[in-house]
């Protein structure tokens, strides 16, 4: 029989074969198994570059949180030592001997630039994550209600038009004055009105799909509004929300840098504050490392976060799961 098959260039697998009737299996509906999040990660990891960036992101965040915990960093340890200030990496290593602390040189107080930037990174990342979590939660919930209810829409749109016109800087400075320039003040200042623009964005998206035919059909069949929101609209919004998170988190880091630069930032030594204080070092020969280190680290963190978020956002769009 095999000879005969080979004559036609076929293998045994390609022939019809008899299947026994199984009364248990025939009771099951056999569609391919589909899990949304499973597909999201399948699509996400299909691109090899995503794995590299994700590993980089994990490494940066882990390092920013673990390194300050294990090393004892005292900014003012070498304050009285005038020969320890503003050293380039090679000079710092000559001066203190080789260790990981001195690979980026020493700063204005004779402190290790490497330690300073990672302490700063921890503060900046924490700020961005907390602000993004608060703003996204409030923004998405309010935005959904805003998009659904026409009464709320009229009211909220007016509020949006007014608040969007108040200079954000002024708002933040008032907050800082009222409560001192601490970490939680900054969180409060960035979240007090920050959710509004997210809510407005979500509202626009909800308005776009609210009156689509399938939602109309659901409503005609008597589905409750909450169920429509949770089952029909939320899945549609997932990729939009993920993409939004991808732009939001880096934007808080950028914003913190900006605020520090105009002198309204944190009192803690965040990345922004480091950049602000080392600005004069940028043009001084031999001092460049203390300025460019926080700039580069802030850029790397924001780019990695942004790219991971964007690609995750693309992957969470079901249309890419085919």
Partner 1 sequence: MTKYLLKRLLHGLISIIIVVALVMIMVYSLLDRNHIFAKDTTYSHQSNNSKTVYMYYKWEEYGYLDYVPYADYLQEMADNGQIDEETRNKAVAFGKTADDDSEIAGKYVEKFTKHYEDEGYTVVRLDAKMQGKNKYANGGQQQLFAYKDVPLLKRLWSYFTGIITIDNINKVENDVGERGLTFTLYDPVYGGDKFSPAIMGNGTKSKYLLYFDKKFPFIHQNIVSINLGKSYTVNQGIDVFDTMTTSQGSYVKSTITYPTGLKEESADDLHTATYMANSLHSSLVFETRYVDDYTNVDTVKNNMSKIGYSFVIGVIASILAYLVGVPLGILMARKKDKLIDKIGTVYIVFIMAVPSLAYIFLFKAIGGKMGLPTTFDMESSSKLMYILPIVSLALPSGANLMKWLRRYMIDQMNSDYVKFARSGGLTEGEIFSRHILKNAAIPIVHGIPGTVLGALVGAIITERVYVVPGAGNLLVEAIGKYDNGVIVGVTLFYALLTVISLVLGDILISKIDPRISFSSKNR
| The only residue of 105, 139, 250, 313 in contact with partner 1, by rule CB under 8 A | 250
Q: How far is CA 251 from CA 129, 193, 194, 240, 293, in A?
A: 11, 15, 11, 17, 19
Scanning the structure block, which residue is given the tokens 């919004």? 237
HSE of 269 in the Cβ direction (CA atoms, 13 Å)?
Answer: 18
| The only residue of 66, 158, 234, 286 in contact with partner 1, by rule CB under 8 A | 158
User: Closest distance between partner 1 and the C-beta of residue 20, in Å?
Assistant: 48
Closest CB to partner 1 among residues 202, 298:
298
To the nearest 10°, the Cα dihedral for 76, 81, 87, 91?
-130
| Residues in Cβ contact with 11 at an 8 Å cutoff, skipping those fewer than 6 apart | 5
User: Closest distance between partner 1 and the C-beta of residue 274, in Å?
Assistant: 12
Mark 274-313 with x for binding to partner 1 (rule: CB under 8 A) and - for no binding: -x------xx-------x---xx-xx--xx-xxx--x---
Please provide the DSSP assignment of 35-88 as one string: -HHHHHHHHHHHSHHHHHHHHHHHHHHHHHHHHHHHS---TTTTTT-GGGSSB-
Q: Which stretch binds partner 1 (CB under 8 A): 5-13, 68-76, 90-98, 250-258?
A: 250-258
Closest CB to partner 1 among residues 92, 304:
304
257 binds partner 1 (CB under 8 A): yes
Closest CB to partner 1 among residues 110, 250:
250
CB 130 within 8 A of CB 187: yes
CB 304 within 8 A of CB 53: yes
Interacting positions 168-187 with partner 1 (CB under 8 A): 169-171, 173-174, 177-178
The number of residues that bind partner 1 (CB under 8 A) is: 39
Q: Which residues pair with 87 in a beta bridge?
A: 106
User: Closest distance between partner 1 and the C-beta of residue 139, in Å?
Assistant: 19
81 binds partner 1 (CB under 8 A): no
96 binds partner 1 (CB under 8 A): no
| The only residue of 167, 211, 213, 319 in contact with partner 1, by rule CB under 8 A | 167
253 binds partner 1 (CB under 8 A): yes
Interacting positions 22-41 with partner 1 (CB under 8 A): none
Give per-residue burial for 210-225: e unless 16+ CB within 10 Å, then b: beeeebeebeeeeeee
| Residues in Cβ contact with 315 at an 8 Å cutoff, skipping those fewer than 6 apart | 40, 41, 43, 44
Binding interface with partner 1 (CB under 8 A): 158, 161-162, 164-167, 169-171, 173-174, 177-178, 247, 250, 253-254, 257-258, 261-264, 272, 275, 282-283, 291, 295-296, 298-299, 302-303, 305-307, 310
């Amino acid at each position: 029989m095999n000879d005969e098959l080979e004559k036609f260039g076929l293998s045994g697998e390609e022939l019809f074969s008899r299947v026994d009737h199984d009364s248990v299996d025939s009771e099951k509906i056999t569609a391919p198994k589909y899990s949304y999040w499973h597909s999201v990660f399948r699509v996400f990891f299909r691109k090899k570059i995503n794995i590299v960036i994700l590993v980089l992101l994990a490494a940066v965040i882990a390092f920013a949180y673990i390194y300050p915990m294990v090393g004892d960093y005292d900014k003012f340890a070498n304050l009285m030592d005038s020969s320890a200030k503003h050293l380039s990496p090679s000079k710092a290593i000559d001066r203190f001997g080789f260790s990981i602390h001195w690979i980026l040189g020493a700063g204005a107080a004779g402190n290790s630039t490497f330690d300073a930037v990672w302490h700063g990174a921890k503060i900046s990342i924490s700020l961005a994550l907390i602000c993004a979590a608060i703003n996204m939660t409030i923004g998405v919930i309010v935005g959904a209600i805003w998009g659904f209810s026409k009464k709320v829409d009229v009211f909220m749109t007016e509020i949006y038009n007014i608040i969007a016109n108040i200079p954000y800087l002024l708002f933040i400075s008032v907050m800082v004055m009222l409560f001192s320039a601490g970490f939680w003040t900054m969180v409060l200042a960035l979240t007090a009105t920050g959710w509004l623009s997210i809510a407005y964005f979500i509202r626009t998206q909800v308005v776009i799909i609210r009156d689509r035919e399938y939602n109309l059909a659901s409503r005609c069949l008597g589905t409750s509004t909450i169920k429509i929101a949770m089952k029909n609209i939320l899945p549609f919004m997932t990729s939009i929300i993920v993409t939004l998170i991808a732009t939001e988190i880096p934007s808080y880091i950028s914003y913190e840098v900006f605020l520090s630069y105009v002198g309204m930032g944190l009192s803690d030594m965040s990345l922004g504050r480091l950049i602000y204080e080392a600005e004069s070092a940028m043009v001084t020969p031999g001092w460049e490392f203390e300025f460019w280190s926080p700039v580069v680290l802030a850029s790397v963190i924001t780019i990695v976060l942004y790219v991971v978020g964007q690609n995750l956002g693309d992957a969470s769009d079901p249309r890419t799961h085919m």
